[in-house]
Amino acid sequence: MDLDVYVTAHRAEWDRLEHLLGRGRHLTGAEADELVALYQRTATHLSLIQSSTADPQLTGRLTQLVARARATVTGTRRASWRDAARFLTAGFPAAVYRSRHWWVPTAVLSVLLAAVIGWWIGAHPEVQASIAAPQELREMTRPGGQYETYYSSHPAASFAAQVWTNNAQAAAMCLVLGAFLCVPVLWILFLNMLNLGVGIGLMSSAGRLDTFLGLVLPHGLLELTAVFVAAGTGLRLGWTLIDPGPRTRRSALAQQGRAALGMALGLALVLFVSGVIEGFVTPSGLPTWARIAIGIAAELAFLLYVYVLGGRAARAGETGDVDTADRSAELPAAA
Q: End-to-end CA distance of the chain, in Å?
A: 14
Contact between residue 281 and residue 294 where contact means Cβ atoms under 8 Å apart: yes
Of 315, 309, 295, nearest to 225 by C-alpha is 295
Question: Mean pLDDT over residues 239-258, rounded?
Answer: 76
Whether 79 has a pLDDT exceeding 60, the answer reads: no
Mind listing the pLDDT tens digit for each residue in 196-214?
Answer: 999 999 999 999 999 999 9
Measured distance CA(95)–CA(87) in Å, rounded: 10
pLDDT at 324: 45
Of 50, 58, 49, 12, nearest to 34 by C-alpha is 12
Of 218, 215, 222, nearest to 299 by C-alpha is 222
pLDDT at 332: 44
Whether 77 has a pLDDT exceeding 60, the answer reads: no
Question: Mean pLDDT over residues 302-317, rounded?
Answer: 94
Whether 158 has a pLDDT exceeding 80, the answer reads: no
pLDDT bin (cut points 50, 70, 90) of residue 159 is: low
pLDDT at 326: 46
Does pTM top 0.85 for this prediction?
no
pLDDT at 155: 66
Select the more confidently predicted residue: 141 or 182.
Answer: 141
